[in-house]
Amino acid sequence: MLIAFNKPYGVLCQFTDRREPPRRTLAEFGFPPGVYPVGRLDLDSEGLLLLSDEGPLIARIIHPRHPWPKRYLVEVEGDIGEEALHRLRSGVLLRDGLTRPARARRLQAPPSWLWPRDPPIRFRKRVPTSFIELTLREGRNRQVRRMTAAVGFPTLRLVRTAIGPYRVEELAPGEWTVLSPPSAAPVLASAPRSAADHRDRR
């Protein structure tokens, strides 16, 4: 089984939390038993998270030699220009080494399907923001945030929009759906479900 989930801001990519008071976790969204996250998405990031109960499929998706590309929508602080975008494309030197070349382009505006963040990002009237689309083929810890900071444009909001052939646009925050096999077209195999649906079935 392969599941696509639109992870909201402030939700941990795990099913339990030992911190007091506990933070929100995946347990509240009514997933089928036995599924686990395929990779991770930070607490303060949003968007597409895949879950599966199939070990070989998980290994295939995250294999370090042939990882599936991951696409991000990033709102950064400042008016980002071509020089910074070129550095992102060429590779950025971080503490753990040079990143692989990435795809990076500036967007004139956020896509129409993008939902408002809850809570909203801090607004600074005198500081402009920019939206970029960034596609990576590696998954270092907080890599996108470190890359944009290294080229002088700190990340304000980070939304993962795609992993391989699968995209998040069909799902509202907190919704999930079962996907068709990865060898087939990226078609949703079931209607999106939400935490409210799970509560109604109990």
The pLDDT profile of the chain, 202 residues, written as one tens digit per residue, is: 999 999 999 999 999 998 989 899 999 999 999 999 998 899 999 999 999 999 888 888 888 777 889 999 999 999 999 999 999 999 999 999 999 999 999 999 999 999 999 888 877 778 899 999 999 998 889 999 999 999 999 999 999 999 999 999 989 999 999 997 665 445 455 567 776 665 555 4
* Confidence (pLDDT) at 154: 96
CA distance 108 to 187: 29
CB 113 within 8 A of CB 169: yes
Residues across the chain: 202
Strand, coil or helix: 59: helix
Q: Hey, what are 126's tokens?
A: 């005198």
CA distance 36 to 67: 18
Question: What residues does each domain of the chain span?
Answer: 1-64+166-202, 69-163
Q: Which fold has domain 1-64+166-202?
A: Alpha-Beta Plaits (3.30.70)
CB atoms within 10 A of CB 71: 19
* Confidence (pLDDT) at 188: 54
* Confidence (pLDDT) at 182: 63
Same CATH topology for 1-64+166-202 and 69-163: the answer is yes
pTM of the model: 0.89
Active-site annotation, residues: 42
The conformation of residue 102, written as its DSSP 8-state character, comes to -
* Confidence (pLDDT) at 181: 66
CATH 3.30.70.1560 fits 69-163, yes or no: yes
